[in-house]
Amino acid sequence: MMTDLNNTKFSIIIPTYNRLSALKECLDSLTSQLKGQIEWEIIVINDGGKNDHSGYMQIPQQYPQVKYFYLPHRGPAAARNYGIKIAAGEIILFLDDDSLPDENWVSAIRKAWNEFPDFDGIGGYVLFNKKGVFLSQFNSLLFNWYLKESASCENLIFLSTCNAGFRKKILEKIAGFDENFKSAAGEDRDLNIKIHQAKGKLKLDEKILIYHEENLSLKSFIKRNLDYGKAAYKIYSKYPACKHLSQKAYLNFCFMLSKKYRNPFEKLPFFSLLVFSQILTSIGYLIAVFSNHKTSINSPRLPLTTRLDANLGYECNNNCLFCYFKSRKQQRINPSTEETKKYLAFIKKLGIRTLEITGGEPTIRSDILELISFAKNDLKFEKISIITNASRFCDETFAKEAIKRGIDDVLISLHGHNQQLNDLLTGRNGSFQQTLQAIKNVQALGVSCRTNTVVTQLNYNYVIEIAELLSSLGVKKINFIFFSPLDDAFYMNQSLWPKYSDAAPFIKRMIDLYKDKFETISIKVIPFCFMQGYEKYVTDFFQNIYDPFEWDFYKRVRLRRGFLTCITASLGGLVLFMDIARIWRIGWHNSLYEAIMHTQAFRECVKNKTCQKCALGLVCPGVWKPYAKKFGTQELSKIPIKKRKIKEIDWCLRERFSDYYKD
């Protein structure tokens, strides 16, 4: 049955990573075929590539039909998902950046969708241009055989996303690609399986052809097959039935080779390469099994935070009694706009995805809106948060403009339940009313609004009233941070320092009353022994690296103290505080992060003898040394060990933030 698709919109999505010349060849072929066809759009997603940045930026001028976007490097699956989200087409077509469409590719695509309008996906074959390269020949033979083999069974048809198209509605129905596949291996197979499970219909059309500009070296061949093995583990873990089908498919491939090459000397190279590729795939599979085993037992189940603070200067219009930077803010010297932009660009280079703007009070900078736009539009931070005393967000016009420029999340400080207490602590009359208005403004604009309350001797017995006020305002995420006697705050009036044993009962009572009113309640910087039975609400110093709303301490040290200090502190922590079994279980990367936290805790914190026998002694830093000097450590008590000591630093965060990572 033929259907006229002349008015149907097609979107071609091409993820790219450091292959500008190959991409241009692909675009040259496409644009030559699409002249005058305005119903087609081409979307190029740069997946965080670092090479030829200026060349990539010129693509929209060189190819007017192309829409170009730059994203942080997260892999082709995430890049394609972004393309799906912004695509205007009813049919989404996928190509790789090194794919060269056949001269009749566009007409073949249109003809196929006209002939088979009831299908949800149609794809074609992949030919390899490097005919003289043995590894590429083998790869071509194996790849296209797999496509043909799958096409013989309606429920197993596989379409490679380097040459395939799908209806947007089916992609949206199955939530697109699984972004847990970080490399170009397995993500398209997973997509095909999900479409089959959703009762979608797929078809392989031999007239839809692309040429893959591929010259496999031995090194790239090894890496690719290792990646295939790692991806196979993920696939088989999600879909156990696929394991049997894959084993059967490879046996069929061996029989096919024996028929194709009658001469035994002709068969030998291909069979040898097949065995070699399967050994590599098996090794990759075992690496994935081993890695999963390491991270599933006694290890962090939350990812490391990707948030970092950007201090834009110490100038502030509050005069908080507990200010950490009182001496520095009096200097009234903020970095210039250009200096700040370079600072933000360096943070981006560190791989930070969520920027949290802070100070001082960042919103009193005259260039704050320009800096927000720069961070969002030029540096492409995924999320931008701002910590503020609300003195400008109480102005609805400013709040709207800041959010329009790129603010995704606002963290507002509120330290009292009424004007008298709040304004006393902030040192500025009118701050309480401004804070309430700012919360209302941000909530009305539909942006995430969180609050910070510093727990001091003056307000700890009012935390219930503060929670009641925040609940009435509709705030869903609240933090109560125990006052820490650090930096300039150490020299402030010590009557502000709250005693943990005095404040903890009020905090627990507040949680009992309001735990169902808020999405998250976080109690920060308090030893676990004061919060027995409420440990899942606590984020102490060690937990910061796994709390998605806290800062990346490792990169914070890297930014402020330099690489040498950072790596020295990490390696010192590995040697002095991390046991080999722990390093082996959680991996090198996480171990560096945990090690630097141990080093910092060793410098800044202290415990008593009972902590050694505490069930949480390994995941709790103790108390700050200035606190111990004032109050001693007699308050600290041990939590009884039931089966073993807890070693998973993030154990208390998992329930609190499970929904955050689902979103």
Place of tokens 């005919």: 131
- The predicted structure's pLDDT at residue 68: 92
| DSSP string covering 570-639 | HHHHHHHH--HHHHHHH-HHHHHHHHHHHHHHHHHEE--GGGGG-TTTTT---EEHHHHHHH-STT--PP
Residues 6+ apart with CB under 8 A from 153: none
- Burial of 525 by CB count in 10 Å (0-12 exposed, 13-18 middle, 19+ buried)? buried
Grade residue 419 by pLDDT with cuts at 50, 70 and 90. very high
Share of the chain above pLDDT 70, in %: 83
Instruction: Give the lowest-confidence range in 62-71, 140-149, 164-173, 614-623.
Output: 140-149
| pLDDT at residue 338 greater than cutoff 80 | yes
- Which one-letter amino acid corresponds to residue 444? A
Which of 174, 176, 276 lies closest to 224 in space, CA to CA? 276
pLDDT digits (tens, 9 = 90+) for 427-462: 999 999 999 999 999 999 999 999 999 999 999 999
Q: Which uninterrupted H or E stretch holds 128?
A: strand 121-128
- The predicted structure's pLDDT at residue 161: 86
Grade residue 375 by pLDDT with cuts at 50, 70 and 90. very high
Residues 6+ apart with CB under 8 A from 559: 308, 346, 347, 350
- The predicted structure's pLDDT at residue 344: 95
- Burial of 21 by CB count in 10 Å (0-12 exposed, 13-18 middle, 19+ buried)? exposed
- Which one-letter amino acid corresponds to residue 161? T
Q: What does the buried/exposed string (b/e) look like for 187-225 if buried means 16 or more CB atoms within 10 Å of the residue's CB?
A: bbbbbbbbbbeeebbbbbbeebbbbbbbebeeeebbbbb
In the predicted model, what is the mean pLDDT of residues 56-69?
89
Alpha-carbon distance of 585 to 608, in angstroms, equals 28
Residues 6+ apart with CB under 8 A from 304: 545, 546, 552, 589, 590, 593
Which of 73, 67, 93 lies closest to 11 in space, CA to CA? 93
Are the C-beta atoms of residues 557 and 599 closer than 8 Å to each other?
no
- Compute the mean pLDDT over every residue in the chain, rounded to the nearest whole number: 84
- The predicted structure's pLDDT at residue 654: 82
Place of tokens 């590719």: 105
Q: Give the three-state DSSP class for 407.
A: coil
| pLDDT at residue 383 greater than cutoff 70 | yes
Task: Identify the DSSP state of 66.
Answer: E
- The predicted structure's pLDDT at residue 151: 57
Share of the chain above pLDDT 90, in %: 46
Alpha-carbon distance of 485 to 41, in angstroms, equals 58
pLDDT digits (tens, 9 = 90+) for 195-213: 988 889 888 888 999 887 6
Beta strand pairing status for 99-101 and 307-311?
unpaired
pLDDT digits (tens, 9 = 90+) for 181-192: 888 888 888 898
Alpha-carbon distance of 251 to 262, in angstroms, equals 17
pLDDT digits (tens, 9 = 90+) for 475-507: 999 999 997 765 555 555 677 889 999 999 999
Which of 78, 66, 70 lies closest to 26 in space, CA to CA? 66
pLDDT digits (tens, 9 = 90+) for 560-601: 888 888 888 888 888 888 877 777 778 778 888 999 999 988
- Burial of 175 by CB count in 10 Å (0-12 exposed, 13-18 middle, 19+ buried)? exposed
- The predicted structure's pLDDT at residue 550: 92
Task: Identify the DSSP state of 413.
Answer: E
- Residue 260 or residue 595, greater confidence: 595
Alpha-carbon distance of 415 to 390, in angstroms, equals 12
Alpha-carbon distance of 507 to 489, in angstroms, equals 23
In the predicted model, what is the mean pLDDT of residues 396-419?
95
- The predicted structure's pLDDT at residue 384: 95
Q: Give the three-state DSSP class for 92.
A: strand
User: 553-561 vs 563-577: helix axis angle to the nearest 10?
Assistant: 140
What pTM does this model have? 0.58
Task: Identify the DSSP state of 530.
Answer: G
In the predicted model, what is the mean pLDDT of residues 405-419?
95
- Residue 244 or residue 42, greater confidence: 42
In the predicted model, what is the mean pLDDT of residues 352-362?
92
Alpha carbon of 599 to those of 368, 496, 546: distances in Å?
35, 28, 17
Grade residue 399 by pLDDT with cuts at 50, 70 and 90. very high
Q: Which uninterrupted H or E stretch holds 524?
A: strand 520-524
Alpha carbon of 68 to those of 55, 184, 501: distances in Å?
12, 20, 57
| pLDDT at residue 372 greater than cutoff 60 | yes
- Burial of 12 by CB count in 10 Å (0-12 exposed, 13-18 middle, 19+ buried)? buried
Q: In the 3-class helix/strand/coil scheme, how is 151-210 assigned residue by residue? A: HCCHHHCCCCCCEEEEEHHHHHHCCCCCCCCCCCCCHHHHHHHHHHHCCCCEEEEEEEEE
Grade residue 267 by pLDDT with cuts at 50, 70 and 90. low
* Strands of the sheet with 91-95, listed across from one edge: 66-71, 40-47, 10-16, 91-95, 163-167, 121-128, 202-212, 99-101
Grade residue 35 by pLDDT with cuts at 50, 70 and 90. confident
Are the C-beta atoms of residues 656 and 526 closer than 8 Å to each other?
no
Residues 6+ apart with CB under 8 A from 165: 10, 91, 92, 93, 94, 109, 113, 121, 122, 123
- The predicted structure's pLDDT at residue 663: 47
Instruction: Give the lowest-confidence range in 139-153, 240-254, 419-433.
Output: 240-254
Q: Both tokens of residue 235? A: 């696939």
Alpha-carbon distance of 501 to 636, in angstroms, equals 9
- Residue 7 or residue 400, greater confidence: 400
Place of tokens 């993030």: 650
User: Which of 65-74, 128-137, 441-450 is most confident?
Assistant: 441-450
In the predicted model, what is the mean pLDDT of residues 345-370?
93
Grade residue 377 by pLDDT with cuts at 50, 70 and 90. very high
**Could you report how far apart the first and last alpha carbons of the chain are, in Å?**
42
In the predicted model, what is the mean pLDDT of residues 339-351?
93
| DSSP string covering 203-235 | EEEEEEEEEE-----HHHHHHHHHHHHHHHHHH
Q: Both tokens of residue 488? A: 């300039």
- The predicted structure's pLDDT at residue 331: 54
In the predicted model, what is the mean pLDDT of residues 339-366?
93
Q: Both tokens of residue 275? A: 């065995």
Are the C-beta atoms of residues 382 and 347 closer than 8 Å to each other?
no
| pLDDT at residue 290 greater than cutoff 70 | no
Alpha-carbon distance of 434 to 394, in angstroms, equals 5
| DSSP string covering 240-274 | THHHHHHHHHHHHHHHHHHHH--SHHHHHHHHHHH
Residues 6+ apart with CB under 8 A from 169: 90
Alpha-carbon distance of 479 to 248, in angstroms, equals 55
Are the C-beta atoms of residues 65 and 32 closer than 8 Å to each other?
no
Place of tokens 């202290």: 606
pLDDT digits (tens, 9 = 90+) for 152-171: 555 557 788 889 999 999 99
